[in-house]
Amino acid sequence: MNFTNFVNNLNQVRGVVETTSYYGHAIDVTSDGAFVNDKKFDTLEEARLYIEAKETQDDITKEIYEEVLINRAVSIITETHNIKVTEKILEQYLNLASSKMFTIDEAVIKIRETNKLDSVLRNTIDFVLEDESHVIITKKMQNRLNSLLENNQEAVDYMRSTKENFFDIIEQVTGE
């Protein structure tokens, strides 16, 4: 039995007479009504209105989250560097934070910390290097690197390039 036959048999058992898609959500229509994710509605139109309301609610939540992130990022940049934040500066910081490129800029690290989904493991920070390798270090190590490499952009650039270079500096810092 292939997948299509399986789904058809399952729908037949569930009494589904029609399946339609609306805003990417599947709506199963039965003789008893319409279902979206096991939530029952009397009509297909009610199910569609529910999906529209949910999509609108999700969009509003996303817009609020983005606005909060932007305001928080502006505050972080201002507090960290004591500068007036323009749209261009904000865009650069948000791009740097989302790129996960290795940096010792405390503002970028703090912006990344505002995104709870950005942390792979608790009390760690992950980076993507120029050779596309991924590295994870503790926040304690990040703080140590921030203070040691503060005026050494050459070392930061060296660390950004490859995993080997990154850990070469880590070994020099830790003495291991």
pLDDT of residue 106: 92
Rounded CA-CA distance 87/96 in Å is 14
Average pLDDT of the chain? 86
Rounded CA-CA distance 27/78 in Å is 48
Average of pLDDT values for 38-53?
87
- pTM of the full predicted structure? 0.61
Beta bridge pairs of residue 137: 125
- On whether the CB atoms of residues 110 and 97 are closer than 8 A, the answer is no
Give the best-scoring range by mean pLDDT among 8-12, 64-68, 110-114. Answer: 110-114
pLDDT of residue 66: 80
- On whether the CB atoms of residues 81 and 111 are closer than 8 A, the answer is no
Average of pLDDT values for 44-56?
89
Rg of the Cα atoms in the chain: 25
Rounded CA-CA distance 112/98 in Å is 7
The beta-strand segments (E) located in 23-167 are 25-30, 33-36, 39-41, 124-128, 134-138
Average of pLDDT values for 88-108?
92
* 111 burial level (CB within 10 Å; 0-12, 13-18, 19+): buried
pLDDT of residue 119: 63
Give the best-scoring range by mean pLDDT among 4-13, 30-39, 104-113, 116-125. Answer: 104-113
Torsion of the alpha carbons at 76, 80, 81 and 82, rounded to the nearest 10: 80
Rounded CA-CA distance 91/96 in Å is 8
Calculate the alpha carbon distances from 17 to 3, 7, 32, 69 in Å. Answer: 18, 12, 10, 45
